[in-house]
Amino acid sequence: MAEKKGQHFVPKFHLRNFNPRTDGQEVKSIAAFNLKRKRHILLASIAGQCQRDYIYSKDLSIEDSIKVIEDRAALVISNIIKTSIRPKIGSDEYFHLLNFLTLQKSRTVAAGKMLEEMYTMMARFALKMQEPRLKKEIG
Protein backbone atom coordinates (compact mmCIF):
# COMPACT_ATOMS: atom_id res chain seq x y z
CA MET A 1 0.00 0.00 0.00
CA ALA A 2 1.33 3.43 -0.94
CA GLU A 3 2.37 5.81 1.80
CA LYS A 4 -0.34 8.40 2.60
CA LYS A 5 -2.64 7.05 -0.11
CA GLY A 6 -5.76 7.43 2.04
CA GLN A 7 -6.01 11.17 2.59
CA HIS A 8 -8.58 12.36 5.11
CA PHE A 9 -10.88 15.31 4.50
CA VAL A 10 -11.92 15.14 8.16
CA PRO A 11 -8.77 14.66 10.24
CA LYS A 12 -8.48 11.57 12.42
CA PHE A 13 -7.76 13.71 15.49
CA HIS A 14 -11.13 15.39 15.02
CA LEU A 15 -12.99 12.10 14.64
CA ARG A 16 -11.36 10.79 17.83
CA ASN A 17 -13.06 13.59 19.78
CA PHE A 18 -16.37 11.81 19.19
CA ASN A 19 -15.28 8.72 21.11
CA PRO A 20 -13.52 10.00 24.21
CA ARG A 21 -11.83 7.22 26.15
CA THR A 22 -11.22 7.57 29.83
CA ASP A 23 -8.76 4.67 30.12
CA GLY A 24 -5.85 6.44 28.41
CA GLN A 25 -5.94 4.17 25.35
CA GLU A 26 -5.77 5.66 21.86
CA VAL A 27 -9.15 5.89 20.14
CA LYS A 28 -9.13 3.82 16.96
CA SER A 29 -12.85 3.54 16.24
CA ILE A 30 -16.05 5.53 16.35
CA ALA A 31 -19.72 4.83 15.81
CA ALA A 32 -20.70 5.55 12.21
CA PHE A 33 -23.71 5.38 9.93
CA ASN A 34 -23.28 4.15 6.37
CA LEU A 35 -25.69 6.29 4.35
CA LYS A 36 -25.54 4.13 1.23
CA ARG A 37 -26.31 0.90 3.07
CA LYS A 38 -28.44 2.58 5.76
CA ARG A 39 -26.51 0.71 8.41
CA HIS A 40 -25.21 1.70 11.85
CA ILE A 41 -21.69 0.54 12.58
CA LEU A 42 -20.88 0.53 16.28
CA LEU A 43 -17.10 0.25 15.92
CA ALA A 44 -15.97 1.74 12.60
CA SER A 45 -12.22 2.14 12.14
CA ILE A 46 -11.24 5.81 12.15
CA ALA A 47 -8.56 5.05 9.55
CA GLY A 48 -11.24 4.31 6.94
CA GLN A 49 -13.57 7.22 7.66
CA CYS A 50 -13.81 10.49 5.74
CA GLN A 51 -10.92 9.75 3.39
CA ARG A 52 -10.29 9.08 -0.27
CA ASP A 53 -7.25 7.81 -2.13
CA TYR A 54 -5.09 10.77 -3.11
CA ILE A 55 -7.98 13.24 -2.68
CA TYR A 56 -5.52 16.13 -2.75
CA SER A 57 -2.71 14.82 -4.88
CA LYS A 58 -0.09 12.13 -5.23
CA ASP A 59 2.30 14.98 -4.45
CA LEU A 60 2.66 14.26 -0.73
CA SER A 61 3.96 17.75 0.04
CA ILE A 62 0.34 18.92 -0.02
CA GLU A 63 -0.70 16.26 2.51
CA ASP A 64 2.36 17.14 4.62
CA SER A 65 1.40 20.84 4.62
CA ILE A 66 -2.15 20.02 5.64
CA LYS A 67 -0.82 17.85 8.46
CA VAL A 68 1.11 20.83 9.89
CA ILE A 69 -2.11 22.86 10.05
CA GLU A 70 -4.01 19.92 11.56
CA ASP A 71 -1.35 19.18 14.19
CA ARG A 72 -1.40 22.78 15.40
CA ALA A 73 -5.19 22.83 15.49
CA ALA A 74 -5.33 19.49 17.31
CA LEU A 75 -3.40 20.99 20.23
CA VAL A 76 -5.66 24.05 20.34
CA ILE A 77 -8.88 22.02 20.12
CA SER A 78 -7.63 19.55 22.73
CA ASN A 79 -6.93 22.46 25.07
CA ILE A 80 -10.38 23.93 24.46
CA ILE A 81 -11.99 20.58 25.28
CA LYS A 82 -9.93 20.21 28.48
CA THR A 83 -10.36 23.77 29.77
CA SER A 84 -13.59 25.00 28.10
CA ILE A 85 -11.65 28.20 27.31
CA ARG A 86 -11.29 29.48 23.78
CA PRO A 87 -8.05 31.05 22.59
CA LYS A 88 -7.66 34.80 22.95
CA ILE A 89 -8.41 36.75 19.79
CA GLY A 90 -5.15 37.57 18.00
CA SER A 91 -3.14 34.84 19.74
CA ASP A 92 -1.18 32.19 17.84
CA GLU A 93 -3.69 29.59 19.04
CA TYR A 94 -6.57 31.68 17.66
CA PHE A 95 -4.77 31.96 14.31
CA HIS A 96 -4.15 28.18 14.19
CA LEU A 97 -7.81 27.51 14.93
CA LEU A 98 -9.04 29.93 12.23
CA ASN A 99 -6.54 28.52 9.76
CA PHE A 100 -7.85 25.01 10.45
CA LEU A 101 -11.51 26.07 10.18
CA THR A 102 -10.81 27.73 6.84
CA LEU A 103 -9.08 24.58 5.61
CA GLN A 104 -11.99 22.41 6.76
CA LYS A 105 -14.54 24.58 4.97
CA SER A 106 -12.56 24.29 1.75
CA ARG A 107 -12.60 20.47 2.02
CA THR A 108 -16.38 20.13 1.68
CA VAL A 109 -18.17 18.81 -1.39
CA ALA A 110 -20.06 22.11 -1.63
CA ALA A 111 -16.79 24.07 -1.66
CA GLY A 112 -15.44 21.80 -4.41
CA LYS A 113 -18.55 22.33 -6.54
CA MET A 114 -18.44 26.07 -6.00
CA LEU A 115 -14.77 26.19 -7.01
CA GLU A 116 -15.45 24.08 -10.10
CA GLU A 117 -18.32 26.40 -11.12
CA MET A 118 -16.10 29.44 -10.59
CA TYR A 119 -13.30 28.00 -12.75
CA THR A 120 -15.81 27.07 -15.47
CA MET A 121 -17.24 30.61 -15.49
CA MET A 122 -13.74 32.10 -15.65
CA ALA A 123 -12.75 29.82 -18.54
CA ARG A 124 -15.92 30.71 -20.48
CA PHE A 125 -15.30 34.41 -19.87
CA ALA A 126 -11.67 34.11 -21.03
CA LEU A 127 -12.76 32.32 -24.20
CA LYS A 128 -15.45 34.91 -24.84
CA MET A 129 -12.89 37.69 -24.47
CA GLN A 130 -10.61 35.95 -26.99
CA GLU A 131 -13.42 35.36 -29.52
CA PRO A 132 -13.04 38.66 -31.46
CA ARG A 133 -9.28 38.16 -31.79
CA LEU A 134 -9.72 34.56 -32.95
CA LYS A 135 -12.31 35.58 -35.55
CA LYS A 136 -9.93 38.23 -36.88
CA GLU A 137 -7.05 35.72 -37.12
CA ILE A 138 -9.19 33.03 -38.82
CA GLY A 139 -11.24 35.31 -41.10
Confidence of residue 55 (pLDDT cuts 50, 70, 90): confident
By C-alpha distance, which of 110, 107, 87, 112 is closest to 97?
87
Asked if 70 and 13 count as a contact pair (C-beta separation under 8 A), the reply is yes
Give the model's confidence band at 77: pLDDT under 50 very low, under 70 low, under 90 confident, else very high.
Answer: very high
pLDDT of 78 > 80? The answer is yes
Give the confidence band of 72 by pLDDT, cuts at 50, 70, 90. very high
- Residues 33/41, Cβ–Cβ less than 8 Å: yes
Cα atoms in the Cβ-side hemisphere of radius 13 Å centred on 117: 6
Neighbours of 102 (CB within 10 A): 11
Q: Which residue has the higher pLDDT, 93 or 19?
A: 93
Question: Which is it for the CA torsion 87, 91, 95, 98, positive or negative?
Answer: positive
